[in-house]
């Protein structure tokens, strides 16, 4: 099943608060189960990677993840799966204080 969504998080100096903003689409279904940085968690340092966990193994070649924040779109590299029904990608620039949005598109399951 194809799905898209956004995750919003704020980075306040040394604290990151991650909030799920929901799935965009025609239904309320979202295959996203959780994320690292943890949704609603607090952290002492900015993340260097994003990891999104789904209810089935995502198709990496049909997936896309982007990160936008105070400096615009942040460069990411190395989208892959760790074979744990996830997508993982490296953040290439240090994050500064502000609001961030992770936008993801993927196909999960047998589709």
Coil, strand or helix: which one is 105?
A: strand
On whether the CB atoms of residues 52 and 65 are closer than 8 A, the answer is yes
Domains (ranges, CATH) in the chain?
Answer: 2-107 (2.60.40.1220)
Position 101 scores a pLDDT of 84
On whether the CB atoms of residues 98 and 10 are closer than 8 A, the answer is yes
Alpha helices in 53-93 (DSSP H): none
Average pLDDT, the chain: 77
Position 21 scores a pLDDT of 33
- In the predicted model, is pLDDT for residue 26 greater than 70? no
The pTM of the full predicted model, rounded to 2 decimals, is 0.74
Q: First vs last Cα of the chain: how many Å apart?
A: 6
d(CA 108, CA 38): 21
- In the predicted model, is pLDDT for residue 83 greater than 90? no
How far CA 74 is from CA of 1, 3, 19, 101, in Å, comes to: 27, 22, 19, 10
């Amino acid at each position: 099943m194809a799905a898209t969504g956004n995750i919003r998080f704020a980075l306040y100096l040394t604290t990151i608060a991650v909030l799920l903003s929901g799935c965009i689409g025609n239904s309320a279904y979202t295959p996203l189960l959780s994320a690292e940085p943890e949704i609603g968690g607090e952290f002492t340092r900015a993340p260097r990677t994003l990891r999104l966990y789904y209810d089935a193994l995502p198709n990496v070649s049909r997936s896309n993840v982007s990160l936008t924040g105070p400096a615009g779109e942040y460069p990411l590299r190395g989208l892959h799966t760790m074979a744990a029904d996830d997508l993982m990608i490296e953040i290439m620039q240090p994050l500064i204080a502000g609001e961030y949005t992770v936008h993801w598109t993927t196909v999960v399951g047998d589709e």
